[in-house]
């Protein structure tokens, strides 16, 4: 599923929190945010797409989830934080190449050949990973290890990148063919940018097969590379992107420009991104996977990047200028996004308050991002009671309505949207600060659910007020308007 991911190490963020964030760019999927109690976690999991059945461990943890409201194609939980304050976002669809896929084919469901045949189950994929992994891990590293064991046993039917974070570490894992994988701990001072391509551009195999401190991989990865003549690197350099990834013309239109815009925002001074002397262009194949940002990164920065449409460049689809390049690259903020989340694990606050999940529904360009505490038994109705019918009574549909109304009237509506987004972020932070202090003063965990209700009441009021303004503006600009003075 085409998506965009940003990962932030604890020393790269303004408050020493770790953050993993992703746009879930599906097919206009209707999404909600819920809490899955251990009693509701299945004992045996069955995938809708691949038909694989997997027995699950005992004693799962409670966790948040962003499933699809319509479950006919599966749960598609997308992202979440569990009660041990471990986050996941799954998955970033990535690219591969024929050499890898021929050597280790993807494990796809084989349809029945006749009525007696049940078919052959496939592997696991984006539909399944959050449910299979998040309830059973207590650190980000454990997330990699559990998913690795599942991949090696069952395989996967697609190429994916998966992120995990806890209070101290962020890990990024990429699948290689049907059963192989590699993972890196994100350096604490760095940010990772991942736009639907195999991303890692360096990897320490000696560490992966030695101390395993910062690098993990399949036990036979060296042999797999050698036996299948996969290493394209010169002069002894090991670049996984060149070995396992793609180098297609389509990447230059669909993928790499997003990495260029994110890198340009994060490192405007330490790298040159524009002009004839630029180190990197929108179609460069060597844009770094990880960068040390020129200033500390905030949740608002992450939201801005995941809402981006090449603002300030000739490629902005909303520009009023005839640049000749308008809309030529795939934006980060895109119309078919179902949910965008930032899983933020914060130090220096009581344990129950450490996990904050920033949630944004629908196209990110026009939607607000709302922070909520994850260590709760349930989410307010405004986030969790979402139906397939359009309504202003929940955050998902309010966000979709705002986006559809504003897009054709961008110039007239964008200021209203920016004020709305700023209000939700500002008031959201104020409420989080208020309840952090209450909890630190000895308040009970029920305060977190009270805080989430207050956050949702605020967001609903702000969304409704903005809908009123935007609807009026869009109505004024309808093509069938007519006044006597028009004669």
Distance CA 343, CA 66 (A): 12
Name, in order, each residue with C-beta under 8 angstroms of 464's C-beta and a sequence gap of 6 or more.
392, 398
| 413 tagged catalytic | no
Pick left, alpha or beta for residue 74 (phi over 0 → left; psi -120 to 50 → alpha; otherwise beta): left
Q: Please give the biggest Cα pair distance in the chain.
A: 82
φ, ψ of residue 19 to 5 degrees: the values are: -140, 135
* Alpha carbons 141 and 392: distance in angstroms, whole number: 40
Yes or no: say if 154 and 107 are a contact pair by the CB < 8 Å rule.
Answer: yes
The sign one gets for the Cα dihedral 216, 217, 218, 223 is negative
Q: How far, CA to CA in Å, does 312 sit from each of 5, 13, 298, 319?
A: 21, 24, 21, 9
Strand partners of residue 13? 297
Residue 462 and residue 469: Cα distance in Å, rounded?
Answer: 11
Q: Tokens in use for 329?
A: 């690259």
Nearest-angstrom CA–CA distance, 453 and 282: 42
The packing angle between helices 299-306 and 410-440, to 10°, is: 150
Instruction: Give the H or E element holding residue 456.
Output: helix 446-476
Contact 473, 412 (CB under 8 A): yes
377 vs 375: CA distance, rounded Å: 7
Q: Which of 3, 191, 217, 343 is catalytic?
A: 3
Find out whether the peptide bond into 91 is cis, omega within 30 degrees of 0: yes
**Count of alpha carbons within 13 angstroms of residue 313, beta-carbon side:** 24
**CB under 8 Å to 39, separation ≥6 — which residues?**
none
Distance from C-alpha of 60 to C-alpha of 55, rounded to nearest angstrom: 12
Closest alpha carbon to 382 in 281, 462, 302, 470:
462
What DSSP designation does 208 have? H
∠ at Cα 176 (171, 179), nearest 5°?
100
Q: Which residues are catalytic?
A: 3
């Amino acid at each position: 599923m085409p998506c965009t991911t940003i990962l932030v190490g604890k020393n790269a963020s303004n408050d020493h929190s770790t953050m993993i964030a992703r746009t879930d760019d599906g097919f206009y999927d209707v999404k909600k945010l819920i809490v899955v109690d251990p009693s509701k976690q299945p004992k045996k999991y069955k995938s809708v797409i691949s038909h694989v059945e997997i027995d699950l461990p005992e004693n799962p943890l409670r966790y948040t989830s962003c499933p699809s409201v319509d479950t006919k194609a599966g749960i598609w939980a997308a992202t979440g934080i569990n009660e041990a304050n471990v986050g996941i976002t799954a998955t970033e669809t990535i690219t591969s190449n024929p050499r890898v896929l021929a050597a280790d084919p993807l494990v796809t469901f084989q349809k029945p050949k006749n009525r007696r045949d049940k078919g052959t189950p496939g592997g696991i994929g984006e539909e399944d990973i959050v449910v299979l992994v998040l309830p059973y891990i207590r650190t980000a590293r454990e997330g990699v290890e559990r998913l690795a064991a599942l991949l090696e046993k069952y395989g996967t039917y697609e190429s994916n990148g998966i992120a995990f974070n806890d209070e101290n570490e962020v890990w990024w894992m990429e699948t290689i063919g049907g059963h192989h994988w590699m993972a890196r701990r994100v350096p604490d001072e760095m940010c990772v940018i991942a736009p639907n391509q195999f991303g890692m551009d360096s990897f320490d195999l000696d560490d992966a097969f030695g101390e395993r401190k910062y690098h993990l991989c399949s036990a036979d990865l060296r042999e797999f590379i050698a036996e299948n003549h996969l290493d394209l690197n010169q002069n002894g350099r090991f670049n996984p992107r060149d070995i396992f990834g793609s180098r297609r013309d389509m990447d230059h239109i669909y993928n790499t420009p997003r990495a260029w815009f994110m890198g340009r925002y994060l490192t405007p001074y330490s790298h040159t991104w524009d002009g004839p002397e630029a180190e990197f262009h929108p179609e460069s194949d060597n844009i770094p996977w990880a960068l040390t940002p020129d200033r500390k990164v905030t949740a608002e920065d992450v939201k801005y990047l995941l809402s981006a449409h090449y603002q300030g460049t000739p490629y902005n689809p909303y520009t009023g200028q005839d640049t000749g390049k308008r809309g030529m690259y795939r934006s980060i903020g895109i119309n078919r996004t179902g949910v965008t989340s930032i899983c933020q694990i914060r130090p220096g606050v009581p344990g129950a308050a450490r996990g904050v999940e920033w949630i944004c529904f629908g196209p990110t360009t026009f939607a607000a991002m709302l922070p909520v505490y994850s260590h709760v038994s349930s989410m307010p109705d405004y986030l969790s009671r979402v139906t397939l019918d359009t309504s202003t009574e929940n955050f998902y549909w309010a966000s979709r309505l705002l986006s559809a109304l504003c897009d054709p009237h961008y110039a007239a509506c964008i200021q209203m949207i920016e004020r709305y987004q700023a209000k939700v972020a500002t008031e959201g932070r104020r409420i989080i600060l208020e309840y952090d202090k209450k909890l630190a003063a000895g308040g009970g965990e029920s305060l977190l659910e009270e805080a989430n209700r207050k956050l949702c009441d605020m967001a609903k009021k702000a969304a409704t007020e903005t809908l009123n303004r935007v609807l009026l503006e869009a109505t004024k600009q309808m093509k069938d308007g007519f006044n006597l003075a028009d004669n």
